[in-house]
Amino acid sequence: MTEHRVVTGGKGATLGGTLGLARPALWRLLLASLLGACAIGATILLMATSAWMLSRASQRPGEAALGLSIVAVQFFGLSRGFFRYGERLVGHDAAFRLLANLRVRFYRHIEELAPAGLPAFSRGDLLARMVGDVDSLQDLLLRVIPPYATALLVGVGAVAGMWWILPAAGATTLVALLLAATAVPWLTGRLARRAARREALLKGALTNSFVDLIEGAAELTVFGATAAEVERVTQLDASLTRISASNASTAGSGLGLTTLLAGLAATGSLYFGARAVHTGHLSGLLLGTLAVVPLAAFELVSPLPAATQALARARQCAARIFAVLDTPAPVTDPAHPIELRGGPHRLEARAVWASYPTSACPVLRGIDLDLSPGRFVAVVGRSGAGKSTLAAVLLDFLTPDAGTVLMDGVALERCNSDEVRSIVGMVDQLPHLFDASLAANLRLARPSATDGDLADALDRVGLGAFLGGLRDGLDTEVGRSGSRLSGGQRQRIGIARALLADWPILILDEPTEHLDQHSADQVMHALFEDASDRSTLLIAHRLSGLEVADEILVVENGTVIERGTHAALLHRAGLYAAWWWEERSTQSIADRTPRTAAPEAAGIGSRPTQLHQGRDAQ
Ligand SMILES: Nc1ncnc2c1ncn2[C@@H]1O[C@H](COP(=O)(O)OP(=O)(O)OP(=O)(O)O)[C@@H](O)[C@H]1O
Ligand SMILES: [Mg+2]
């Protein structure tokens, strides 16, 4: 079970950094704000004109005297609906475009980080960042920037209009609006900031717990730990509920204070207006207008406390997004990569030192390796010795700290990583299968492959009978991570993919770990039968079958401690020889034990016959 390691920016991203995320949608945002301003402007003018019209009507003038105001009331009443609709349409369009772009940018960076840089983040938390945190940023575009822009635009106009009618009423409205636009959001913002930080952390932790709960359901049930894990999720959920309640009360307090200020502004304006009417400085017809305009103008500032809360949340989410986007990729492509020539290809590692972004000390310490065309090199060593890390370096997933990896004499740092990986491929220890059909999983390696090609590849890895027994054949869904298949079937599908990809250089990271000896032989036969010019690097725990390797590297703590052919290493009587004799004695005991399934020896010419890598050499 993963610990809830949640990286966040502490205080949140800077204001500039957060607002900068909205830059690609600037013009659409401006248009949305302008339409929003027109909608609220129309509301204010509707109220002002209505108040004037009612006052004027009470004097029973002729119809002609009210004609213009009636038209104005109708116009403002109708137009505010259109303006509001336009604002929502443009604003949401801007928000969804921006979120889509941000998600693509986020995913591309994850792709650059994978696989070596990804362990810095837990899976569920990454998911929460990509889905929840990016989603929360839509508030920035819908509930933060437009309300502030609109308040500024229309507020100035409303105060100027009031001032023109009666300066004292204008000043009262100005002070009340300023307080509502600054002090109240400041207060709610302060209260919201801490809650936002905890909320972002908890949301990440909750998604992480859910992912763990779903993926580890079987283990949790077996170990009787489900109740404890469910309790943990329940507690996280309860904490989030408490934060939501506190957010709601903060928002409610903000709204209450704003309403109070609106009431004070209206009362103040009315008071000054009444005095002006009394002293004959103002027409009584405008008194109603002075009372309703401040109330209408407060529609401008009432969303601001919520906007400040949303901004605090957006800053936390932006920090979590930046934490991923700013994580340097373990490998970066040069601006002008050198194009690699056609085959045959030679891959070499020269005095390579390497470590992961999170590792405390080097994992590889000065490794040399030569994979000339057609060469078969094996790497053996204990668990954790650095074998898979060596594969990651050769695949350009990890840049060496020192030394170089050369493809046809060109350092990998100067090549395009994707081009390198079109030449060097790997069958992983645990090949990932997507939650899709068998065919889709196989076509990943060769999109143009026909159904016949796919069936042939499956046949070559011993899955022909299995395919024949499937009701839906190649269209059979394999489930999440291939959960509807056995471990050995998943591994063989991974190998069938490698056969389809037909890479000139193939790295096999314990490719037959989950297979019985007969299946392992069959798979290795398939890998070697048609590939005399393919170079192969085989990472193995078990030594049987390595007699035919051109070179064997024995790796301990990231260093090659012995190298040579099988015969030379046996002659040397070092660690390899000790392991070999130990394995031989275990094997001879196994040979004397009656077998349940009779594995027939698969004739595979000059290549390994028994590459069975089931045992941990530790
Ligand atoms: N992505 C990673 N981030 C940080 N450290 C890692 C990462 N992957 C592996 N390591 C560490 O690097 C060291 C070498 O790991 P590696 O996977 O290369 O071993 P290995 O020889 O392939 O072992 P095994 O035979 O068990 O597969 C280990 O100490 C491991 O903990
Ligand atoms: Mg490994």
Residue 201 lies in a domain: yes
At residue 453, the pLDDT reads: 92
39-92 residue pLDDT tens:
988 988 898 888 888 888 888 777 777 788 888 889 999 999 999 999 999 999
Binding site membership of 113 for ligand 1 (Cβ less than 6 Å): no
Same structural domain, 400 and 300: no
Domain for residue 615, yes or no?
Answer: no
Task: State the total domains in the chain.
Answer: 3
| pLDDT beyond 60 at 598 | no
Q: Which amino acid is at 195?
A: A
Is residue 330 in contact with ligand 1, taking CB distance under 6 Å? no
Neighbouring CB atoms inside 10 A of 600's CB total 9
Same domain flag for 169 and 50: yes
Query: Would you say the CB of residue 210 lies under 6 angstroms from ligand 1?
Result: no
Q: Is the CB of 387 under 6 A from ligand 1?
A: yes
pLDDT at 600 over 70: no
What is the per-residue pLDDT for 141?
Answer: 83
**Residue 313 C-alpha from the chain's centroid:** 18
Which is more confidently placed, 457 or 127? 457
3-class secondary structure for 451-472?
Answer: HHHHHHHHHHCCCHHHHHCCCC
Tell me: do 280 and 372 sit in the same domain: no
Tens digit of each residue's pLDDT (9 = 90 or more) over 338-358: 787 777 889 999 999 999 877
94 and 135 in a common domain: yes
Residue 518 confidence (pLDDT) above 80: no
Encoded tokens for 168: 């004292």
Check if the beta carbon of residue 495 is closer than 8 Å to that of residue 461: yes
Same domain membership, residue 308 and residue 179: yes
Q: Check whether residue 508 and residue 492 sit in a common domain.
A: no
Q: Is residue 598 assigned to a domain?
A: no
- What are the residues facing 405 on neighbouring strands? 349
One domain, residues 190 and 233: yes
For 375-394, what is each residue's pLDDT tens digit? Answer: 999 999 998 899 999 999 99
- pLDDT reported for residue 232: 87
Whether residues 405 and 441 share a domain: the answer is no
> Is 336 a domain residue?
no
Q: Are residues 274 and 225 in the same domain?
A: yes
Mean pLDDT of 418-432: 85
**Is residue 319 located within the same domain as residue 244?**
yes
Q: Are residues 86 and 148 in the same domain?
A: yes
Cβ(163) to ligand 1 under 6 A?
Answer: no
Among protein residues, the one with the nearest Cα to ligand 1's atom 9 is: 389
Domain carrying residue 151: 15-325
Average pLDDT, stretch 182-207? 82
Instruction: Using CB atoms within 10 Å of the CB of residue 603, give its burial: 0 to 12 exposed, 13 to 18 middle, 19+ buried.
Output: exposed
Residue owning the nearest CA to atom 30 of ligand 1 = 384
Ligand number with the minimum distance to the CA of 390: 1
For residue 118, the 8-state DSSP code is G
Same domain, residue pair 204 and 163:
yes
Nearest ligand (C-alpha, residue 382): 1
Residue 616 lies in a domain: no
The mean pLDDT value of the chain amounts to 83
Least confident range from 232-241, 275-284, 541-550, 605-614: namely 605-614
Residue 493's CATH number: 3.40.50.300
115 Cα–ligand 1 center, Å: 12
Tokens 């890998």 locate to: 527
Q: Among 236, 234, 174, 231, which residue's Cα sits nearest to residue 202?
A: 236
Centre of ligand 2 to C-alpha 389, Å, is 7
Q: What is the mean pLDDT of the segment spanning 547-576?
A: 92
Confidence of residue 591 (pLDDT cuts 50, 70, 90): low
Give the other-Cβ count within 10 Å of 418's Cβ.
10
Q: Give the model's pLDDT for residue 457.
A: 92
Q: Model's pTM, two decimal places?
A: 0.66
Decide whether any atom of ligand 1 lies within 6 Å of the 618 Cβ: no
Pair 496, 461: CB distance under 8 Å: yes
Comparing 512 with 149, the larger pLDDT belongs to: 149
Asked if 426 and 506 touch (Cβ cutoff 8 Å), the reply is yes
pLDDT of residue 171: 93
How many percent of the chain have pLDDT more than 90?
24
235 vs 586: which has the higher pLDDT: 235
